[in-house]
Amino acid sequence: MGKATVLVVDDEFHIVDLLAEILEDEGYTVLRAYDGLSALALAEGAAVDLVIADVMMPRLDGISLAYRLRERDEGTRIVLMSAAVARVPPEFGFIAKPFDINDLLDKLAEARADAPSDDPPRPDTVGSR
């Protein structure tokens, strides 16, 4: 499985830029947005595999963004992050701010592993029980 396209969304520019730099170094393709509505617009025109979004943002909060993205594509994996909120809906990943970058990379790998595969079923498994 190749590296994914990740949409990083936070109203703190330095966090978006730092995460983008780290993820690009890891081989991910990164899209950047600085509020929820901009992220939604970006996601309309791009194939996004993973989203990392802050919970508390202007114009559209991270939880609302996550639900709207999932309405469009149930396969989009989403990790929410926050320094203030520790409770997010269970269908989304969560990481607390400040975060350890290795923990974040592990969370992304988990989310990516949980994504439905685009690969066709192997012939030897079709119809077998």
Give residue-wise pLDDT tens across range 56-90: 998 999 999 999 999 998 888 999 999 886 678 88
pTM score of the predicted model:
0.83
**Structural domain boundaries in the chain:** 5-114
pLDDT tens figures, 13-40: 999 999 999 999 999 999 999 999 999 9
Q: How far apart are the first and last CA of the chain?
A: 26
Q: pLDDT value at position 35?
A: 96
Owner of token pair 């990481």: 95
Q: pLDDT value at position 119?
A: 41
Select the more confidently predicted residue: 80 or 99. 80
> Does the structural domain 5-114 have CATH classification 3.30.530.20?
no
Q: What is the mean pLDDT of residues 103-122?
A: 69
Q: Is the pLDDT of residue 128 over 80?
A: no
Residue 99: pLDDT band with limits 50, 70, 90:
confident
Q: Which of 1-5, 11-15, 47-51 has the lowest mean pLDDT?
A: 1-5
